Amino acid sequence: MSTSERVLVVAPHPDDESLGCGGTLLRHRAEGAEVHWLIVTDMTPSYGAARIAAREREIVQVADRYGFAGVHRLGLPTTQLDTLPTGDVVGAIAGVISSVEPDTVYLPHRHDVHSDHTVVFDATVAATKSFRAPSVRALHAYETLSETDFALRPDGAFRPTLYVDVTDHLEGKQQILALYEGELRDLPFPRSPQAVAALATLRGVQAGVLAAEAFMTLKEIR
């Protein structure tokens, strides 16, 4: 991680960024990197005005806690990305990448059980081809509780190749996740504070630290 690094996290939905790499984003910020947040989808009117307003407040609070340099929103319909023309999604994501010019991009795992994650993965990979996005030097897929682990596809299993020590940032990650009202519940719900801590401990044990986040490195140019 570098103090001059520019980072972009691509989140199909608000909270994916925190579940998948919240500790890593906080570490990037602590080390002086410029971090941007791309939110691909918005709630549709069917969620109701009150829930949509609550989510808007959550986004503002979360962005403030991370200290993001920019929050970029595509406003595409949540749970419906697979109904949209692929080129439209690629183009929208490519526009943000062209504007931000990140060195490092974090994106969801392709084989997550949620179809929005699959679409976002494919579109982000297409948008970060070297001739389209020469600034991008590293591409890392993150894991999302109840999405990555619920995808029962042995051929598409999440196999970490990169571990980031987030021991000093796990508490901050938990505090940010708590801002998402209704997204976290008590055990045995998979998105619980206990499960978040347990996954960080598991990845930490694998890496020889107290707490870690794991990624699959898809591309790294040195």
**Global pTM?**
0.95
Please state the CATH superfamily assignment of the domain spanning residues 6-217 in this structure. LmbE-like (3.40.50.10320)
Does residue 49 have a pLDDT over 70? yes
- Specify the pLDDT at position 206: 98
Q: What is the pLDDT of residues 161-170, one digit of tens each?
A: 999 999 999 9
Q: What is the pLDDT of residues 4-18, one digit of tens each?
A: 899 999 999 999 999
- Specify the pLDDT at position 3: 54
- Specify the pLDDT at position 89: 98
Long-range Cβ contact pairs of 84-92 (< 8 A, separation 24 or more)? 84/119, 86/119, 86/122, 86/123, 89/40, 89/119, 89/120, 89/123, 90/123, 90/126, 90/127, 92/40, 92/123
Round the CA-based radius of gyration of the chain to a whole number and report it. Answer: 16
- Specify the pLDDT at position 190: 86
Domain ranges of the chain: 6-217
Provide mean pLDDT across the span 140-159.
Answer: 87
Q: What is the pLDDT of residues 169-217, one digit of tens each?
A: 999 999 999 999 888 888 888 889 999 999 999 999 999 999 999 999 9
Does residue 151 have a pLDDT over 80? no
What share of the chain has pLDDT > 70, as a percent?
Answer: 99
